[in-house]
Amino acid sequence: MTNVVVVGSQWGDEGKGKIVDWLSERADVVVRFQGGHNAGHTLVVADTTYKLSLLPSGIVRPGKLSVIGNGVVVDPWALRDEIAQLTGQGVPITPDTLRVADNATLILPLHRELDAFREDAAGAGKIGTTKRGIGPAYEDKAGRRAIRVCDLAEPDRLAEKIDRLLVHHNALRRGLGRPEIDAGVLEADLKDIAGSILPFACSGWSLLDQVRKAGKRILFEGAQGALLDIDHGTYPFVTSSNTVAAQAATGSGSSPAALGYVLGITKAYTTRVGSGPFPTEQDNETGRTLGERGREFGTVTGRQRRCGWFDAVLVRQTIRTAGIDGIALTKLDVLDGFDEIKVCVEYRLDGKSIDHLPAASDAQARVEAVYETLEGWTESTEGARSWADLPAKAVKYVRRIEELIGAPVALLSTSPRREDTVLVHDPFQD
Protein backbone atom coordinates (compact mmCIF):
# COMPACT_ATOMS: atom_id res chain seq x y z
CA MET A 1 0.00 0.00 0.00
CA THR A 2 1.12 3.56 -0.65
CA ASN A 3 -0.14 7.04 0.21
CA VAL A 4 -1.72 9.07 -2.58
CA VAL A 5 -1.47 12.77 -3.45
CA VAL A 6 -4.30 14.27 -5.50
CA VAL A 7 -3.67 17.49 -7.41
CA GLY A 8 -5.42 19.29 -10.24
CA SER A 9 -3.50 19.26 -13.51
CA GLN A 10 -5.22 22.28 -15.08
CA TRP A 11 -6.67 25.52 -13.66
CA GLY A 12 -8.73 23.82 -10.98
CA ASP A 13 -12.38 22.73 -11.17
CA GLU A 14 -11.31 19.38 -12.63
CA GLY A 15 -13.61 17.31 -10.42
CA LYS A 16 -11.21 16.60 -7.54
CA GLY A 17 -14.04 16.40 -5.02
CA LYS A 18 -15.64 13.32 -6.49
CA ILE A 19 -12.31 11.56 -7.11
CA VAL A 20 -11.02 12.28 -3.60
CA ASP A 21 -14.33 11.11 -2.18
CA TRP A 22 -14.11 7.92 -4.26
CA LEU A 23 -10.50 7.29 -3.20
CA SER A 24 -11.24 8.07 0.44
CA GLU A 25 -13.09 4.77 0.71
CA ARG A 26 -9.65 3.14 0.42
CA ALA A 27 -7.90 5.65 2.70
CA ASP A 28 -7.85 6.00 6.47
CA VAL A 29 -6.97 9.70 6.62
CA VAL A 30 -7.69 12.57 4.19
CA VAL A 31 -5.52 15.70 4.43
CA ARG A 32 -5.98 19.17 2.90
CA PHE A 33 -2.53 20.73 2.48
CA GLN A 34 -2.94 24.18 0.85
CA GLY A 35 -5.43 26.84 -0.18
CA GLY A 36 -8.45 27.96 1.76
CA HIS A 37 -12.21 28.23 1.40
CA ASN A 38 -11.82 29.63 -2.10
CA ALA A 39 -11.67 26.06 -3.41
CA GLY A 40 -15.01 24.35 -3.89
CA HIS A 41 -15.74 20.63 -4.10
CA THR A 42 -19.13 19.19 -4.97
CA LEU A 43 -19.87 15.62 -3.91
CA VAL A 44 -22.94 13.69 -5.01
CA VAL A 45 -23.66 10.77 -2.67
CA ALA A 46 -26.85 8.83 -3.49
CA ASP A 47 -29.46 11.60 -3.67
CA THR A 48 -27.54 14.10 -1.53
CA THR A 49 -25.25 16.86 -2.80
CA TYR A 50 -22.55 18.16 -0.47
CA LYS A 51 -20.75 21.41 -1.25
CA LEU A 52 -17.42 21.73 0.54
CA SER A 53 -14.99 24.63 0.57
CA LEU A 54 -12.57 24.08 3.45
CA LEU A 55 -13.36 20.65 4.82
CA PRO A 56 -11.52 17.70 3.25
CA SER A 57 -13.70 15.59 0.96
CA GLY A 58 -13.28 12.55 3.22
CA ILE A 59 -15.44 14.22 5.86
CA VAL A 60 -18.61 12.66 4.40
CA ARG A 61 -17.17 9.13 4.75
CA PRO A 62 -17.99 7.47 8.09
CA GLY A 63 -14.96 6.26 10.01
CA LYS A 64 -12.43 8.45 8.21
CA LEU A 65 -10.23 11.10 9.79
CA SER A 66 -10.01 14.45 7.99
CA VAL A 67 -7.11 16.82 8.66
CA ILE A 68 -6.70 20.47 7.68
CA GLY A 69 -2.95 20.91 7.40
CA ASN A 70 -0.67 23.79 8.28
CA GLY A 71 -0.39 24.84 4.63
CA VAL A 72 -4.07 25.79 4.57
CA VAL A 73 -5.24 29.29 5.51
CA VAL A 74 -8.30 28.88 7.70
CA ASP A 75 -11.20 31.29 7.97
CA PRO A 76 -12.57 30.20 11.38
CA TRP A 77 -16.02 31.70 10.75
CA ALA A 78 -16.29 29.97 7.37
CA LEU A 79 -15.15 26.71 8.97
CA ARG A 80 -17.74 27.02 11.73
CA ASP A 81 -20.49 27.64 9.17
CA GLU A 82 -19.39 24.77 6.94
CA ILE A 83 -19.35 22.38 9.90
CA ALA A 84 -22.88 23.52 10.78
CA GLN A 85 -24.03 23.04 7.19
CA LEU A 86 -22.67 19.49 6.96
CA THR A 87 -23.99 18.64 10.41
CA GLY A 88 -27.40 19.79 9.23
CA GLN A 89 -27.13 17.34 6.34
CA GLY A 90 -26.56 14.49 8.74
CA VAL A 91 -22.74 14.35 8.68
CA PRO A 92 -21.40 14.11 12.27
CA ILE A 93 -18.28 16.25 12.71
CA THR A 94 -16.33 15.87 15.95
CA PRO A 95 -12.65 15.91 16.98
CA ASP A 96 -12.71 12.19 16.20
CA THR A 97 -13.40 12.91 12.52
CA LEU A 98 -11.79 16.34 12.00
CA ARG A 99 -8.50 17.85 13.17
CA VAL A 100 -6.97 21.23 12.34
CA ALA A 101 -3.22 21.89 12.49
CA ASP A 102 -2.55 24.33 15.31
CA ASN A 103 0.11 26.13 13.25
CA ALA A 104 -2.28 26.94 10.39
CA THR A 105 -2.71 30.64 9.60
CA LEU A 106 -6.09 32.29 10.17
CA ILE A 107 -7.98 34.36 7.62
CA LEU A 108 -9.45 37.38 9.39
CA PRO A 109 -12.21 39.82 8.32
CA LEU A 110 -9.52 42.39 7.51
CA HIS A 111 -8.01 39.97 4.97
CA ARG A 112 -11.33 39.61 3.16
CA GLU A 113 -11.78 43.37 3.11
CA LEU A 114 -8.26 44.05 1.83
CA ASP A 115 -8.71 41.42 -0.88
CA ALA A 116 -11.87 43.18 -2.09
CA PHE A 117 -10.36 46.69 -1.83
CA ARG A 118 -7.42 45.73 -4.00
CA GLU A 119 -9.42 43.81 -6.58
CA ASP A 120 -12.00 46.56 -6.92
CA ALA A 121 -9.24 49.15 -7.38
CA ALA A 122 -7.37 47.09 -9.99
CA GLY A 123 -9.77 47.83 -12.85
CA ALA A 124 -8.67 46.06 -16.02
CA GLY A 125 -5.74 44.54 -14.11
CA LYS A 126 -7.94 42.33 -11.92
CA ILE A 127 -6.47 38.92 -11.13
CA GLY A 128 -9.83 37.27 -10.59
CA THR A 129 -9.51 36.61 -6.86
CA THR A 130 -12.52 35.20 -5.00
CA LYS A 131 -12.17 38.07 -2.47
CA ARG A 132 -12.08 35.62 0.42
CA GLY A 133 -8.84 36.92 1.91
CA ILE A 134 -6.62 34.05 0.79
CA GLY A 135 -3.80 36.15 -0.69
CA PRO A 136 -3.58 38.71 2.14
CA ALA A 137 -3.54 35.90 4.72
CA TYR A 138 -0.62 34.20 2.98
CA GLU A 139 1.13 37.59 2.80
CA ASP A 140 0.87 37.94 6.57
CA LYS A 141 2.14 34.39 7.02
CA ALA A 142 5.22 35.17 4.92
CA GLY A 143 5.57 38.53 6.69
CA ARG A 144 5.66 36.73 10.08
CA ARG A 145 2.79 38.71 11.55
CA ALA A 146 -0.10 36.24 11.09
CA ILE A 147 -2.51 35.10 13.78
CA ARG A 148 -2.53 31.29 13.88
CA VAL A 149 -4.90 28.69 15.28
CA CYS A 150 -2.64 28.10 18.28
CA ASP A 151 -2.81 31.81 19.18
CA LEU A 152 -6.50 31.41 20.02
CA ALA A 153 -5.44 29.19 22.92
CA GLU A 154 -3.48 32.10 24.45
CA PRO A 155 -6.13 34.83 24.82
CA ASP A 156 -3.95 36.91 27.17
CA ARG A 157 -1.39 37.38 24.39
CA LEU A 158 -3.80 38.08 21.55
CA ALA A 159 -3.77 41.86 22.03
CA GLU A 160 -0.03 42.23 21.42
CA LYS A 161 -0.17 40.00 18.34
CA ILE A 162 -3.09 41.96 16.95
CA ASP A 163 -1.26 45.24 17.54
CA ARG A 164 1.73 43.96 15.57
CA LEU A 165 -0.57 42.87 12.75
CA LEU A 166 -2.44 46.17 12.63
CA VAL A 167 0.73 48.26 12.33
CA HIS A 168 0.89 46.83 8.84
CA HIS A 169 -2.80 46.66 7.95
CA ASN A 170 -3.88 50.04 9.23
CA ALA A 171 -1.10 51.68 7.26
CA LEU A 172 -2.39 49.92 4.12
CA ARG A 173 -5.95 50.97 4.87
CA ARG A 174 -4.96 54.60 5.39
CA GLY A 175 -3.23 54.50 2.02
CA LEU A 176 -6.37 53.13 0.40
CA GLY A 177 -8.54 55.75 2.09
CA ARG A 178 -10.29 53.14 4.23
CA PRO A 179 -11.10 53.27 7.96
CA GLU A 180 -8.64 51.64 10.34
CA ILE A 181 -9.35 48.37 12.15
CA ASP A 182 -10.37 48.59 15.81
CA ALA A 183 -8.03 46.23 17.67
CA GLY A 184 -10.51 45.69 20.48
CA VAL A 185 -13.27 44.57 18.14
CA LEU A 186 -10.95 42.12 16.35
CA GLU A 187 -9.74 40.71 19.68
CA ALA A 188 -13.31 40.21 20.87
CA ASP A 189 -14.25 38.50 17.59
CA LEU A 190 -11.33 36.10 17.85
CA LYS A 191 -12.05 35.23 21.46
CA ASP A 192 -15.67 34.60 20.50
CA ILE A 193 -14.83 32.19 17.63
CA ALA A 194 -12.06 30.38 19.53
CA GLY A 195 -14.45 27.96 21.21
CA SER A 196 -15.70 26.76 17.82
CA ILE A 197 -12.23 25.96 16.48
CA LEU A 198 -9.94 24.97 19.36
CA PRO A 199 -11.63 21.59 20.06
CA PHE A 200 -10.37 20.46 16.64
CA ALA A 201 -6.82 21.86 17.00
CA CYS A 202 -3.82 19.55 17.27
CA SER A 203 -0.19 19.16 16.27
CA GLY A 204 -0.89 18.14 12.69
CA TRP A 205 2.59 16.95 11.78
CA SER A 206 2.78 14.77 14.90
CA LEU A 207 -0.64 13.24 14.27
CA LEU A 208 0.26 12.36 10.67
CA ASP A 209 3.59 10.90 11.75
CA GLN A 210 1.77 8.59 14.16
CA VAL A 211 -0.75 7.65 11.48
CA ARG A 212 1.98 6.83 8.97
CA LYS A 213 3.94 4.72 11.46
CA ALA A 214 0.77 2.81 12.28
CA GLY A 215 0.53 1.78 8.61
CA LYS A 216 -2.56 3.85 7.87
CA ARG A 217 -3.22 4.97 4.32
CA ILE A 218 -3.16 8.74 3.79
CA LEU A 219 -4.83 10.65 0.98
CA PHE A 220 -3.40 14.15 0.47
CA GLU A 221 -5.95 16.45 -1.14
CA GLY A 222 -4.89 19.56 -3.02
CA ALA A 223 -7.04 22.53 -4.01
CA GLN A 224 -7.14 24.52 -7.26
CA GLY A 225 -4.80 23.23 -9.99
CA ALA A 226 -1.12 23.14 -10.94
CA LEU A 227 -1.57 25.99 -13.43
CA LEU A 228 -2.56 28.23 -10.51
CA ASP A 229 0.64 27.45 -8.58
CA ILE A 230 2.36 30.61 -7.33
CA ASP A 231 5.65 29.49 -8.93
CA HIS A 232 4.65 27.22 -11.81
CA GLY A 233 1.31 28.67 -12.88
CA THR A 234 0.22 31.48 -15.20
CA TYR A 235 1.60 34.22 -12.96
CA PRO A 236 0.26 36.72 -11.89
CA PHE A 237 -3.12 35.07 -12.55
CA VAL A 238 -2.51 32.41 -9.91
CA THR A 239 -3.39 31.58 -6.33
CA SER A 240 -1.13 32.49 -3.39
CA SER A 241 0.17 29.03 -2.56
CA ASN A 242 1.98 26.13 -4.18
CA THR A 243 -0.56 23.72 -5.64
CA VAL A 244 1.82 21.04 -6.96
CA ALA A 245 2.33 17.68 -5.25
CA ALA A 246 5.53 18.70 -3.42
CA GLN A 247 3.39 21.02 -1.26
CA ALA A 248 1.66 17.98 0.23
CA ALA A 249 4.75 17.40 2.36
CA THR A 250 5.35 21.02 3.40
CA GLY A 251 1.67 21.83 3.86
CA SER A 252 1.01 18.88 6.16
CA GLY A 253 4.30 18.53 8.03
CA SER A 254 4.90 15.13 6.47
CA SER A 255 8.20 13.79 5.19
CA PRO A 256 8.54 13.75 1.39
CA ALA A 257 9.14 10.03 1.87
CA ALA A 258 5.53 9.74 3.06
CA LEU A 259 4.23 10.80 -0.34
CA GLY A 260 3.50 8.04 -2.82
CA TYR A 261 1.49 7.94 -6.03
CA VAL A 262 0.57 11.36 -7.46
CA LEU A 263 -2.79 11.41 -9.23
CA GLY A 264 -3.53 14.39 -11.47
CA ILE A 265 -7.23 15.15 -11.86
CA THR A 266 -7.73 16.14 -15.48
CA LYS A 267 -10.88 17.31 -17.23
CA ALA A 268 -11.54 15.91 -20.73
CA TYR A 269 -11.67 19.50 -21.96
CA THR A 270 -10.34 22.71 -20.36
CA THR A 271 -11.93 25.38 -18.17
CA ARG A 272 -10.76 28.43 -16.31
CA VAL A 273 -12.36 30.88 -13.87
CA GLY A 274 -11.33 34.52 -13.86
CA SER A 275 -8.65 36.36 -15.79
CA GLY A 276 -5.46 35.10 -17.40
CA PRO A 277 -4.21 33.33 -20.51
CA PHE A 278 -6.20 30.44 -21.96
CA PRO A 279 -4.78 29.26 -25.32
CA THR A 280 -7.60 26.82 -26.18
CA GLU A 281 -10.51 28.98 -25.02
CA GLN A 282 -13.59 28.81 -27.25
CA ASP A 283 -15.46 32.07 -26.86
CA ASN A 284 -18.14 30.82 -29.22
CA GLU A 285 -20.95 28.29 -29.52
CA THR A 286 -18.57 25.38 -28.78
CA GLY A 287 -17.48 26.99 -25.53
CA ARG A 288 -21.06 27.73 -24.54
CA THR A 289 -22.09 24.15 -25.29
CA LEU A 290 -19.27 22.77 -23.14
CA GLY A 291 -20.25 25.11 -20.32
CA GLU A 292 -23.93 24.21 -20.46
CA ARG A 293 -23.36 20.45 -20.65
CA GLY A 294 -20.68 20.50 -17.97
CA ARG A 295 -22.62 22.87 -15.69
CA GLU A 296 -19.51 24.98 -15.49
CA PHE A 297 -20.23 27.29 -12.60
CA GLY A 298 -17.94 27.65 -9.58
CA THR A 299 -19.01 25.82 -6.40
CA VAL A 300 -17.79 28.70 -4.22
CA THR A 301 -18.39 31.80 -6.35
CA GLY A 302 -21.08 30.74 -8.81
CA ARG A 303 -19.03 32.39 -11.56
CA GLN A 304 -19.34 30.97 -15.06
CA ARG A 305 -16.17 29.22 -16.21
CA ARG A 306 -14.45 29.90 -19.50
CA CYS A 307 -14.39 26.73 -21.62
CA GLY A 308 -12.21 25.33 -24.38
CA TRP A 309 -10.70 22.23 -25.94
CA PHE A 310 -8.29 19.90 -24.15
CA ASP A 311 -4.78 21.36 -23.97
CA ALA A 312 -2.27 18.51 -24.06
CA VAL A 313 0.68 20.93 -23.97
CA LEU A 314 -0.34 22.36 -20.61
CA VAL A 315 -1.22 19.03 -19.04
CA ARG A 316 2.07 17.52 -20.24
CA GLN A 317 3.84 20.46 -18.60
CA THR A 318 2.01 20.09 -15.28
CA ILE A 319 2.69 16.36 -15.23
CA ARG A 320 6.37 17.30 -15.04
CA THR A 321 6.15 20.18 -12.57
CA ALA A 322 3.63 18.44 -10.31
CA GLY A 323 5.27 15.01 -10.45
CA ILE A 324 2.09 13.31 -11.68
CA ASP A 325 2.25 9.52 -12.09
CA GLY A 326 -1.18 9.04 -13.67
CA ILE A 327 -4.37 10.96 -14.29
CA ALA A 328 -8.04 10.67 -13.41
CA LEU A 329 -9.88 11.84 -16.52
CA THR A 330 -13.20 13.48 -15.64
CA LYS A 331 -16.30 14.70 -17.49
CA LEU A 332 -15.75 12.58 -20.59
CA ASP A 333 -19.54 12.47 -20.97
CA VAL A 334 -19.64 16.23 -21.67
CA LEU A 335 -18.03 15.51 -25.06
CA ASP A 336 -20.83 13.14 -26.11
CA GLY A 337 -22.45 14.19 -29.38
CA PHE A 338 -19.69 16.36 -30.85
CA ASP A 339 -19.01 15.47 -34.50
CA GLU A 340 -15.38 16.53 -34.09
CA ILE A 341 -13.24 17.07 -31.01
CA LYS A 342 -10.08 19.13 -31.06
CA VAL A 343 -6.98 18.68 -28.94
CA CYS A 344 -4.14 21.20 -28.68
CA VAL A 345 -0.88 19.38 -29.48
CA GLU A 346 1.57 22.30 -29.64
CA TYR A 347 1.80 26.10 -29.57
CA ARG A 348 3.03 28.73 -31.95
CA LEU A 349 4.63 31.87 -30.54
CA ASP A 350 5.60 34.65 -32.91
CA GLY A 351 5.58 32.17 -35.79
CA LYS A 352 7.71 29.54 -34.05
CA SER A 353 6.60 26.14 -32.71
CA ILE A 354 7.05 25.61 -28.95
CA ASP A 355 6.18 22.68 -26.67
CA HIS A 356 5.44 24.53 -23.42
CA LEU A 357 3.77 27.62 -22.02
CA PRO A 358 6.41 30.31 -21.48
CA ALA A 359 6.79 31.97 -18.08
CA ALA A 360 6.41 35.58 -19.24
CA SER A 361 2.81 36.82 -19.11
CA ASP A 362 3.16 38.81 -22.34
CA ALA A 363 4.37 35.73 -24.19
CA GLN A 364 1.58 33.63 -22.64
CA ALA A 365 -0.99 36.06 -24.04
CA ARG A 366 0.46 35.72 -27.56
CA VAL A 367 0.56 31.92 -27.65
CA GLU A 368 -1.59 30.28 -30.35
CA ALA A 369 -2.91 26.74 -30.05
CA VAL A 370 -2.23 24.20 -32.81
CA TYR A 371 -4.93 21.53 -32.95
CA GLU A 372 -5.34 17.92 -33.94
CA THR A 373 -8.91 16.94 -34.84
CA LEU A 374 -10.38 13.63 -33.67
CA GLU A 375 -13.68 11.99 -34.54
CA GLY A 376 -16.44 12.45 -32.03
CA TRP A 377 -19.04 9.91 -30.96
CA THR A 378 -22.83 9.92 -30.86
CA GLU A 379 -23.31 7.29 -28.14
CA SER A 380 -23.59 8.25 -24.48
CA THR A 381 -20.67 7.68 -22.10
CA GLU A 382 -22.57 8.93 -19.06
CA GLY A 383 -22.61 6.36 -16.30
CA ALA A 384 -20.06 4.04 -17.92
CA ARG A 385 -18.29 1.84 -15.36
CA SER A 386 -15.98 -0.21 -17.58
CA TRP A 387 -14.05 0.16 -20.84
CA ALA A 388 -16.61 -2.14 -22.46
CA ASP A 389 -19.33 0.44 -21.75
CA LEU A 390 -17.51 3.13 -23.75
CA PRO A 391 -17.90 3.84 -27.48
CA ALA A 392 -14.83 2.86 -29.51
CA LYS A 393 -14.20 6.47 -30.55
CA ALA A 394 -14.31 7.62 -26.94
CA VAL A 395 -11.72 5.00 -26.03
CA LYS A 396 -9.61 6.22 -28.96
CA TYR A 397 -9.86 9.79 -27.63
CA VAL A 398 -8.71 8.71 -24.16
CA ARG A 399 -5.80 6.70 -25.58
CA ARG A 400 -4.69 9.66 -27.71
CA ILE A 401 -4.69 11.91 -24.65
CA GLU A 402 -2.47 9.41 -22.83
CA GLU A 403 0.00 9.49 -25.73
CA LEU A 404 0.08 13.27 -25.91
CA ILE A 405 0.53 13.95 -22.18
CA GLY A 406 2.92 11.09 -21.46
CA ALA A 407 0.96 9.63 -18.55
CA PRO A 408 -1.61 6.83 -18.21
CA VAL A 409 -5.26 7.16 -17.24
CA ALA A 410 -5.67 5.52 -13.82
CA LEU A 411 -9.32 6.47 -13.31
CA LEU A 412 -12.08 7.59 -15.64
CA SER A 413 -15.11 9.50 -14.37
CA THR A 414 -18.30 9.52 -16.42
CA SER A 415 -20.71 11.43 -14.15
CA PRO A 416 -20.70 13.28 -10.79
CA ARG A 417 -21.94 10.13 -9.03
CA ARG A 418 -19.48 8.09 -6.96
CA GLU A 419 -20.23 4.79 -8.64
CA ASP A 420 -19.80 6.02 -12.23
CA THR A 421 -16.03 5.52 -12.23
CA VAL A 422 -13.85 3.23 -14.33
CA LEU A 423 -10.88 1.96 -12.33
CA VAL A 424 -7.86 1.22 -14.50
CA HIS A 425 -5.17 1.33 -11.81
CA ASP A 426 -5.67 1.66 -8.05
CA PRO A 427 -3.23 4.39 -6.91
CA PHE A 428 -3.11 2.90 -3.41
CA GLN A 429 -1.74 -0.34 -4.89
CA ASP A 430 1.16 1.36 -6.67
Catalytic-labelled residue, pool 37, 41, 111, 169: 41
Does residue 89 come out as left (phi exceeding 0), alpha (psi in the -120 to 50 range) or beta?
A: alpha
Q: Which residues pair with 263 in a beta bridge?
A: 6, 326
8 A C-beta contact, residue 344 and residue 370 = yes
Cα dihedral sign for 196, 198, 203, 207?
Answer: negative
Other C-beta atoms closer than 10 Å to the C-beta of 195 total 10
Residue type at 212 in one-letter notation: R
Q: Find how far residue 19's CA is from the centre of its chain.
A: 12
Query: In whole angstroms, what is the distance from residue 159 CA to residue 56 CA?
Result: 32
Question: Distance between CA atoms of 416 and 394, rounded to whole angstroms?
Answer: 18
**Over the Cα atoms of the chain, what is R_g?**
22
Within 13 Å of residue 318, how many CA atoms lie on the same side as its CB? 29
- Separation CA 290–CA 292 (nearest Å): 6
Whether 308 and 278 have beta carbons less than 8 Å apart is answered as: yes
In the annotation, is 41 catalytic?
A: yes
* Residue 255: φ, ψ to 5°: -70, 145
13 is annotated as an active-site residue: yes
Half-sphere exposure for 194 (CA within 13 Å, toward CB): 18
Cβ atoms within 10 Å, residue 388: 8
Say what the alpha-carbon torsion angle 175, 179, 180, 186 is, to the nearest 10 degrees: -140
Positions marked active-site: 13, 41
